Structure 1
Amino acid sequence: MKKIVIIVAAIILLFSLESGAQPQPPLPQYKIEIDIVSRSLYFYENNNVVKKYPIAVGKASTQTPIGDYKIINKVVNPYYSKKKIAGGSPQNPLGSRWMGFKPSYGIHGNNNTKSIGTFVSEGCVRMYDKDVKELYEKITVGVPVTVKYEPIKTERDIENDNPIVIVYPDYYSKVPNLVNLVDEKLSELSLIEKIDSNKLATLKKQINKEIVVFSDKWVYMINGNYITNDVIFKDSTLYINLDKVCKFLKIDVYSTESTETVMILSNNISIIEESGSRYVSINQLEANLGGSHKIHQEQQTIKLDLNYLLFNNKFVKGEVLNIEGDVAISLDSLYSISNKELTISQEKSNVIVNNKEIKCKPVNGKLYIALKDLLLQTNFKSNTYTKDKYIEIFREPL
């Protein structure tokens, strides 16, 4: 009998090989990482971060629990038992989705968008409601959740080089020797001897008062992302390495007949060259990209805050409103897209896209259209990145 079983198993194996049966690809492995100090949630697929989300976390008196957990339950339109508020109610502080990771603690939406990015909850993790819906659809019960509390972070530029140290306030008072640990990290990265001693002393005094950036040079950031420390100061003006900014924002740079200008986004802009690199002033960047810069003289940081749009993985000039909710894009963005992909015309305060009318909304003297309306009238798809403040519109490959 045993010989018969072995023979049958061998025949089945041989048949499956000859029939060309292919093994199924492994299912993607997901995990969630919650970083309390930066109020960020990272969604991983196969150990790669595929999305970052802004969050709100617990107050110092009602802290979000640190440790390793798993998603233990999922609920659509959760009931808020503390105040007996029905699921789906606009007054429900849990929003439209709940993903529990520990008894009484969960990741959920909320009815107060202004709370995102703060320490405000009773220990739960709040997300924009559109973000929590997106995350809810991607994960299942059992997905690992890691909650971290690490005020000292090392960041590298767009070339994965030139490390800096960013120190967040110890809001939960868990790191009494924070200044000493900063010194250790700076020494480990060989930065402590490079930073001017007066600057270093000033920066240390700012620890626990605000987010502090430790670097031996000026640092340029876009929406919190460290882009480069290749910054020069000339004629009372700050200039940034143009090619590194354009690499991050996915903007093509074209040479012109003059060595003093280049073309980006169909405009000639003035540059200066030093040691084979091209630099552009922050004023030129604002004029061509939009957004606004904030300069911290003591920390020597330049931070650009910018809502922007990518179309087919290329930067589109224009304005984007309400990243965290119902997104709207300006008509100049729409016209930039239409150069290649759409047939549009304007009629009074509305636009005609592919022979279909879309209503426009005036905001501060400019006209905008709802992204959802554009998607309805075209075969485009979109992705929203609320943490990095940009919208991605694309045509799916055939």
Structure 2
Amino acid sequence: MIIVNKKTNQLAFFKDGVLVKTFSVATGKTKDLTPEGSFTIANKIKNRPYYKEKIPGGDPRNPLGDRWLGLDVNGTHGTTYAIHGNNNEKSIGKYVSAGCIRMKNEEIHWLYPQVKIDTAVIITSSALTFEAVAEKHGYLVGLDEFAGKLFLNGKLQTLEHSMLIADSRIYLPLRECFELLGARVEWSNRTQTVTATIGNRTLIHQVLTKQATVNGKTIDITASRLEHNTVMIPLRNMAELTGYSVIWDGTDNTIALNHSQK
């Protein structure tokens, strides 16, 4: 789900019940130009031309930037209203558009691949939090804290970031747990990618996706999550990602990580 709050000129992106990121945006010059209501993403276009002034797609002069997320507003099918980039970042945060929602180019480059056709988009002007707006529209928000215990080689560990549970799945803070096992973990903010070297393994994973590579081999996993800028990895995939023994005991809610690599 995407929520645009015209009151604050901010856009929020939710995935799997989690508020992943918020961005500053620009909206309509007047209150009625950017329509309010419940819509969906109708199309996704790279390098859309600016037909009004015959500016090619991808041209630095193009006021649409080079990413277009078209909105199905009042039967326009994504041709008229959109979330898009821009050619003047100084306009972001202001009320300046003819109705579209403008983002910084770098930020819509991040958002664009995360969004699917038919993604719900709520446009409102509200004093409520993004979470409250989402719940008001029937979107299930939030992860529950997992109250279990984590052991490494039999020793109870205290984590800076809580373990979480969602959809009956347990998620562990990737960096902390990997470093407990002796891994070196690096993060690329530009690509939203984790690279971890653990033993004789090199793991690469782009956050929120359902795949990772281990020593160049692609494996399917349950999608990771991003909670308060912390990458959360599903417990069920820890063993195959790290190569270390992971034992879950549902009777007393304990997780045991063994430092001897398989």
Larger radius of gyration: 1
Flag the structure with higher helix content.
1
> TM-score by structure 1 length?
0.34
